[in-house]
A and B are shown apart, each in its own frame.
Chain A
Amino acid sequence: MREERPIRVIDCDVHFKPVAAEAVTEHLPEPWRSRRNLHRALTKAPVYNPYTGAMRLDAKPAEGPTGSDPVLAGRQLFVEAGVDLAINIPVGEHFCPLLDPDLNAAYSAAVNEWQAATWLGAFNRHGRYRGSISVAVNNVPAAVREVERWAGDPRFVQVLVPHHAGAPYGSPQFDPLWEAACRAGLPVALHSNVGAETYHTPVGVLQRYPEYNGIGHPLFVAHHLVSLLTSGAFERFPALRFVFVEAGFSIYAPLVSRLDRNWEKLGGEVPHLRARPSSQLRDHVRFSSQPVDEPEAFADLARIWAWGDAEHLLLFSSDYPHWDFDDPSRAISPRFGDALRQRVMRDNARDLYGFPARRPADEYDA
């Protein structure tokens, strides 16, 4: 019998890259593979970026782009950071959503085949990696087929959607996708991406990365969350689970509390809602932890985490290999106590994704 290890740390947000664009596009059928300028659309430079780049400088392998070397990634994640399982979320360069809905659907399928062949295949003999089914939200019928295509593959543990879909996710046009995710027994993860979105806020354009990065994505997520809660999506699809990744945590409890208070007066507009909106959160919504907020007083963070029920709604994530990587040994302050830390580092993800309690020992355990 193979030796086993207990799973203690589940990292819900890591980002791996292909060595080169062709590693993904070789999975793309014609006529798309030969389309002129495809690479330019897929390697779009981020509009907002730290001046020094968005990656950990020590995560750059000797050859190839950051996040493309399984040896270095395995050492940094499994040995140095002590991660047991990691969920890949393909976003950014090479994984930008495309505006053409047919091309976007074809490319999303190629991304999933690339994941299956590499980080969930050849690089995954130890079995510590899980993947996310990339789908084209501007082509819902194709997205449904893509979910169905991978539904039986246990390596894919969630459906991945971008923050920008042209409409909030409670809109009826997305219902078939949520239905497909529920049929497959998969949560839906929302992560920001670059490419198909716009960069203006409702009140104009911010100037720099530190401004936009802190608030742009959470403003999207706030809108999707309120839309999902008010549209009754979680009542139409009782099995639907949403994970909001890298979008912060602290603002959502006070936001949904405001929604509760408005529902008291405006509930006649949403007669399908049988209970107050906040009551849907614990059964349907999770948030990833990185970057953990750092208010001046720990007591303020503790208050908000208690209000937001971090003990049950928060999932640890490191965002490897990005510059603001959260190390699992330090991300969640010991002052939160062992019970909360264990739920955030492991139990909440295990409950959501159905992960086992133990994993086979492998070369990184030596």
Chain B
Amino acid sequence: MKVDALVRALPRSDDEIRRRIPRPLRDIPLGSPFGQRYVPPIDDVHPRAGGYDDPGRAGEVLFDQLGADLAIVIPPNRQLRTDRRHEVAVMRATNEWLAETWLAGSRFRGSIQLSPRDVAASLAEIERWSAHPAFVQVAVPLHVHAPYGEQEYFPLWEAAAGHGLPVAVHGDGSGGAELTPAMAGEPTRFIEYHTLFPLNAIVHLVSVVSEGVFDRLPELVFVFTDGAAGVIPPFLWREDAKARALKEEMPWVRERPTWYLRQVRFVARRDDFPREPEHLETVRALAGDGRSLLYGSNFPMWDLVDFASEPWPPASAFDDDFFGGNAVATYPRLRAG
């Protein structure tokens, strides 16, 4: 079975979301789902992805042309909203919209969008949708006010793990009050932004490991959808050395930090595939011999992973586990049929 683990479900217009939001919050504009501060110098949408906002036409590309059997969709998170009530309203409306549109067919699987600034409302959202068989993960934004190891979030991870839902961490800058996404100040160009923002996954990962979240929830899985699959594992080596030397500071962490990569997956993105075959092999080797890598097209965006029309890398560089087996192993609900 071939699973596309990253498809962006985009509404045809914001009215599809806003009409599901009660007044007066309905009147607040949501902003471009493609982001507003960092805009690419090329079309946001890939030339192959015409009709991307129609689930039927998207399915023709994803299933008929790109050959997926199932596709996991993530809606734009529109976070961070400065108004918390609005953020929660957008979250609820987005999940309703996703369930009624993209998840109405048989081959799309969905993400329960959460608003981590409101844990109680997000927990209610997990309970509301967890019985819906097409939701296979929860989704939280990459950019948030505090890293995901913090105690305040723990009930979310406990609920997600309890329902067999991996946690997708997804950065999309989709129209909210975007936080400064890189360490040394504002990135000045899109290429700088796009290359750097996925590195923030290491902060969440180190936080989750260091606060003992993976120790407390050994069945929990985090899926980082923004790639940097070749950067994050060697980044974590630095933590191994610190954690061993300074064990008394975090005695509750039972294993070396890199041990917990078995509870982590990366959607491999177009920029994660080096041009040189030997370096491509290194990325694969460091990602748990490929077991941590999930295939995801990132349809319909400009950096679509397009093995059919791009010359590199060839699909033959990857095995069935990459294209589906790893996803089936990661998502309990894909195994339930």
Contacts and interface: CB of A to CB of B under 8 A. Distances in A.
A binds B: yes
Interface of A: 50-51, 163-171, 201-211, 213-216, 218-220, 222-224, 226-227, 230-231, 248, 250-251, 253-255, 257-263, 265-266, 268-270, 291, 293-296, 300-301, 303-304, 307, 323-324
B207 to A, nearest CB: 6
B146 A205 contact: yes
A232 to B, nearest CB: 11
Contacts of B238: 214-215, 218, 248, 250, 291, 293
Interface residues of B, number: 71
B42 A202 contact: no
Nearest to A205: B146
A208 B210 contact: yes
A256 to B, nearest CB: 9
A333 B286 CA distance: 20
B84 to A, nearest CB: 17
B41 A266 contact: yes
Given A211-B239, A296-B240, 5 more contacts: A167-B186, A209-B246, A222-B183, A250-B235, A261-B275
B237 interface: yes
A250 B184 CA distance: 20
B183 A219 contact: yes
B191 A261 contact: no
Given A220-B184, A227-B188, A304-B282, A260 B275 contact: yes
B200 A203 contact: yes
Contact of B180 (A164, A202, A222, A266): A202
Contact of A303 (B194, B228, B285): B285
Interface string B17-60: 00000000000000000000000111000000000000000000
B141 to A, nearest CB: 9
Given A218-B238, A295-B237, A266 B207 contact: no
Contact of A215 (B196, B206, B245, B286): B206
Interface stretch (B3-11, B71-79, B124-132, B265-273): B265-273
B181 A50 contact: no
A265 B231 CA distance: 20
B190 interface: yes
Given A211-B210, A219-B202, A324-B245, A261 B270 contact: yes
B66 interface: no
B144 interface: yes
B180 A293 contact: no
B168 to A, nearest CB: 15
A226 B283 CA distance: 20
B289 to A, nearest CB: 11
A269 B42 CA distance: 9
Interface in B226-280: 227-228, 230-231, 234-235, 237-243, 245-246, 248-250, 256, 258, 270-275, 278-279
Contacts of B230: 254, 257-258
Interface string B290-333: 00000000000011000000000000000000000000000000
Interface of B: 40-42, 142-147, 150, 179-192, 194-197, 199-200, 202-204, 206-207, 210-211, 227-228, 230-231, 234-235, 237-243, 245-246, 248-250, 256, 258, 270-275, 278-279, 282-283, 285-286, 302-303
A168 B283 contact: no
Given A266-B191, A294-B241, A250 B234 contact: yes
Contacts of B211: 207
B142 A203 contact: yes
A324 B240 CA distance: 13
Given A202-B183, A268-B41, A307 B282 contact: yes
Nearest to A198: B183
A294 B240 contact: yes
A164 to B, nearest CB: 7
Contact of B183 (A208, A220, A268, A269): A220
Given A295-B234, A295-B237, A201 B147 contact: yes
A208 B179 CA distance: 23
B203 A201 contact: yes
Most buried by B among A163, A170, A260, A269: A269
B143 A202 contact: yes
A214 B282 CA distance: 22
A210 B200 contact: no
Contacts of B282: 254, 303-304, 307
Contacts of A303: 282, 285-286
Contacts of A227: 184, 187-188, 192
Contacts of A50: 246, 249
11 contacts: A168-B187, A203-B145, A203-B179, A204-B150, A209-B246, A223-B192, A226-B195, A251-B235, A255-B195, A265-B270, A294-B241
A159 B59 CA distance: 56
The 3 A-B residue pairs with the shortest CB-CB distance, nearest first, are A254-B230, A204-B146, A214-B238
Nearest to A167: B185
Contact of A210 (B182, B189, B242): B242
A295 B240 contact: yes
Contacts of A295: 234, 237, 240, 258
